[in-house]
């Protein structure tokens, strides 16, 4: 991902200042207070951690989706307790994160009681990174796994047109004496957000990420976005994982498959209306209370064989840097955000 550029040309905000600005934008766009606070914290957290593909660059997309009437930013999610280890949430055509926030206490309670618990969210829009959905659970000593399907922009291995979304999967596990291990990745060769950033900033894509509208390999991000598509990562292997995410994110939850998302009646809509599954495991339930210690041992072993970066490390480093120096924004981007927040 391209870096943001020379720090001397950036404006710096604290996390609190950025979150407050983003909350104002959400409220101005028509979000309820609860939704505005939840999504502002999420998006500001992405920017703070250097997760640029889902940071402030997404704000115009949130606003235009809300304005198009495609997503209800004032929706109140509903929770249903359907089995000892199974919760369902209907996001009521709102964002997925408020539904997860509503379900989290009961989900944790179920995971601690049963050793495992599953949350199936449907009728939901997810437009962000997944790590914010799993990391807090690992900080509380639980293992968390989540998957979201999105909108048809990824060609399945051996296929001729897009059926899958960029379908991310994220995993978080507690680790003794260190931040949790958190891996969060699209199952397409690249996240669509990074393709959009490359198009906006005039970068080519690495070879092998996508195809144009005629199915020919391309390194032009605009050709991928304008009628082309991404490939899955790792060929048929990524395609198999993406297939699983369609099934768990949509068939299991009652949400839409990525290819069923039809926003053609809502010009400006950008937020995929699909589903999300989240599985929580209490590692202590297996009577082996050493899980977090074992996670530490594995991480240390990886370090001894030369692995200098584990998933999540870069974000945690950037988070610390943002806490010390502030969150740097390009002045023109900050001006655009202030304009979106209204008078
Ligand atoms: P990346 O390829 O940037 O990173 C994937 C994972 O690998 C991260 O955990 C990252 O850690 C880690 N990683 C990256 N490089 C290295 C390295 N050199 N060594 C060790 N670990 C490494 O992510 P993607 O571009 O695939 O996805 C970006 C985001 O987009 C994700 O947050 C995802 O949830 C989101 N997304 C959301 C969608 C949605 O529908 N809502 C759809 C698709 C993607 P680290 O985080 O520390 O860099
Ligand atoms: O970056 O692929 C992506 C994406 C899709 C929906 C939200 N983010």
Distance 222 CA to ligand 2 centre (A): 16
d(CA 285, CA 44): 35
For range 158-184, the mean pLDDT = 97
- Ligand 1 near 315 CB (within 6 A): yes
Instruction: Give dist(CA 44, CA 56) in Å, integer.
Output: 7
Pocket of ligand 2 contains residue 127 by CB under 6 Å: yes
Inter-residue contact 333 to 56 (CB < 8 Å) = yes
The encoded tokens of residue 290 equal 């050493």
- The minimum-distance atom of ligand 1 relative to the CA of 183 is 9
| CATH assignment of the domain containing 14 | 1.10.1530.10
Tell me, yes or no, whether 244 and 144 share the same domain.
yes
37 within some domain: yes
**What ligand is nearest to the CA atom of residue 310?**
1
CA–CA dist 258, 5 (Å, integer): 35
Task: Please state the atom number of ligand 1 nearest to the C-alpha of residue 131.
Answer: 32
CATH number (domain holding residue 115):
3.30.1370.60
Active site residue 54: yes
The predicted model gives 282-289 an average pLDDT of 83
In whole angstroms, give the CA distance from residue 239 to residue 22: 35
Structural domain includes residue 179: yes
Same domain, 306 and 316: no
Give residue 2's pLDDT: 45
Q: Is residue 130 over pLDDT 90?
A: yes
The first and second tokens of residue 307, run together, are: 């692995």
CA of 65 relative to ligand 2 center, distance in Å: 14
Share of the chain above pLDDT 70, in %: 97
Q: Convert the pLDDT of each residue in 208-234 to its tens digit.
A: 999 999 999 999 999 999 999 999 999
Give 251's DSSP letter: I
Q: Does residue 130 sit in the same domain as residue 278?
A: yes
User: Dihedral of CA 59/63/66/69: which sign?
Assistant: negative
Please say whether the beta carbons of 64 and 73 come within 8 A.
no
Strands 154-155 and 229-231: parallel
Q: Is the dihedral of CA 128, 134, 139, 140 positive or negative?
A: positive
State the average pLDDT over residues 275-280: 98
Mean pLDDT in residue range 148-153: 98
Same structural domain, 337 and 294: no
**Which of 167, 184, 245, 261 to mutate for ligand 1's pocket (most ligand atoms within 8 Å of CB)?**
184
User: 176 and 320 share a domain?
Assistant: no
Residue 32 and residue 153 in one domain: no
- The closest residue, in CA terms, to atom 4 on ligand 2 is 192
Q: Are residues 281 and 336 in the same domain?
A: no
Q: Which ligand 2 atom is nearest residue 166's CA?
A: 2
50 CB within 6 A, ligand 2: no
92 and 240 assigned to the same domain: yes
Q: Judge whether 161 counts as a catalytic residue.
A: no
| Residue 286 banded pLDDT, cuts 50, 70, 90 | confident
Closest alpha carbon to 249 in 190, 188, 167, 327: 167
Distance from the alpha carbon of residue 290 to the mean position of ligand 1, in angstroms: 28
For residue 263, the SS3 value is: coil
Rounded-to-integer distance, Cα 166 and Cα 154, Å: 6
Q: Does 1 have pLDDT greater than 90?
A: no
Q: Are 35 and 12 within one domain?
A: yes
CA distance 157 to 181: 29
User: Residue 110 class from Cβ within 10 Å (0-12 exposed, 13-18 middle, 19+ buried)?
Assistant: buried
Average pLDDT in the chain: 96
* Residue 5 pLDDT greater than 80, yes or no: no
Tokens 């766009």, residue? Answer: 29
Residue 275 alpha carbon to ligand 2 centre in Å: 13
Among the bound ligands, the one closest to the CA of 167 = 1
Residue 150's Cα: distance from chain center in Å? 10
Is 194 one of the annotated active-site residues of the chain? Answer: yes
Mean local confidence (pLDDT), 259-276: 98
Q: Which domain holds residue 25?
A: 1-67+312-343
Does the pLDDT at position 55 exceed 90?
yes
105 and 88 in a common domain: yes
Query: Rounded distance, CA 271 to CA 95, Å?
Result: 9
Q: Are 135 and 46 in contact (CB under 8 A)?
A: no
Distance 170 CA to ligand 1 centre (A): 9
What average pLDDT score do residues 33-40 get? 98
Which one from 72, 90, 194, 282 is the annotated catalytic residue?
194
Q: Do both 50 and 182 map to the same domain?
A: no
Cβ proximity of 138 and 174 under 8 Å? yes
- Residue 311: is its pLDDT beyond 80? yes
Distance 114 CA to ligand 1 centre (A): 31
47 plus 136 within the same structural domain: no
- The secondary structure of 136-155 as a DSSP string is HHHHTT-EEEEEE---S-EE
- Does residue 338 fall inside a structural domain? yes
Q: Based on the structure, what is the number of domains in the chain?
A: 2
**pLDDT confidence bin for 3, thresholds 50/70/90:** low
**If pLDDT is split at 50, 70 and 90, which confidence band does 4 have?**
low
- Does residue 157 belong to any structural domain of this protein? yes
Q: Whose CA is closest to atom 3 on ligand 2?
A: 192
Q: Looking at the domain assignment, is residue 94 inside a domain?
A: yes
Q: Which ligand is nearest to the CA of 52?
A: 1
Which ligand lies nearest to the CA atom of residue 149 in the structure?
A: 1
Answer yes or no: is 46 within a domain.
yes
In Å, how far from its chain's centre is CA 202? 24
Over 70: is that where the pLDDT of 145 sits?
Answer: yes
Strand stretches in 203-308, DSSP E: 210-211, 217-218, 229-231, 273-281
């Amino acid at each position: 991902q391209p870096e943001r550029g020379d720090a001397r040309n950036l404006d710096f905000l604290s996390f609190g200042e950025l979150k407050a600005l983003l909350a104002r934008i959400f409220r101005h766009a028509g979000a309820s207070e609860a939704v505005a606070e939840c999504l502002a914290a999420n998006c500001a957290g992405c920017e703070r951690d250097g997760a640029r593909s889902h940071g402030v660059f997404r704000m115009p997309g949130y606003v235009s989706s809300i304005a198009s009437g495609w997503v209800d930013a004032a929706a109140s999610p509903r929770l249903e307790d359907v089995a000892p280890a199974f919760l369902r949430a209907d996001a009521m055509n709102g964002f997925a994160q408020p539904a997860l926030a509503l379900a989290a206490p009961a989900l944790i309670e179920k995971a601690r009681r049963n050793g495992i618990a599953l949350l199936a969210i449907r009728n939901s829009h997810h437009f962000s990174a997944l790590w914010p959905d799993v990391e807090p659970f690992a900080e509380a000593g639980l293992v968390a796994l989540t998957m979201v399907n999105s909108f048809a922009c990824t060609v399945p291995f051996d296929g001729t047109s897009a059926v899958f979304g960029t379908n991310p999967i994220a995993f978080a596990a507690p680790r003794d004496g260190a931040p949790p291990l958190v891996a969060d990745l699209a199952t397409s060769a690249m996240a669509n957000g990074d393709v959009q950033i490359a198009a906006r900033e005039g970068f080519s894509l690495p070879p092998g990420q996508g195809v144009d509208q005629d199915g020919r390999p391309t390194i032009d991000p605009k050709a991928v976005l304008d009628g082309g598509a991404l490939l899955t990562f790792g060929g048929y292997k990524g395609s198999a994982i993406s297939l699983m995410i369609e099934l768990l994110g949509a068939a299991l939850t009652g949400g839409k498959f990525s290819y069923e998302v039809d926003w053609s009646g809502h010009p400006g809509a950008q937020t995929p209306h699909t589903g999300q599954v989240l599985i929580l495991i209490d590692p202590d339930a297996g009577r082996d209370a050493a899980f977090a210690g074992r996670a530490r041992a594995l991480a240390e072993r990886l370090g001894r064989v030369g692995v200098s970066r584990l998933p999540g490390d870069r974000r945690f480093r950037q988070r610390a840097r943002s806490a010390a120096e502030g969150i740097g924004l390009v002045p023109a981007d900050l001006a655009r955000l202030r304009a979106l927040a209204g008078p």
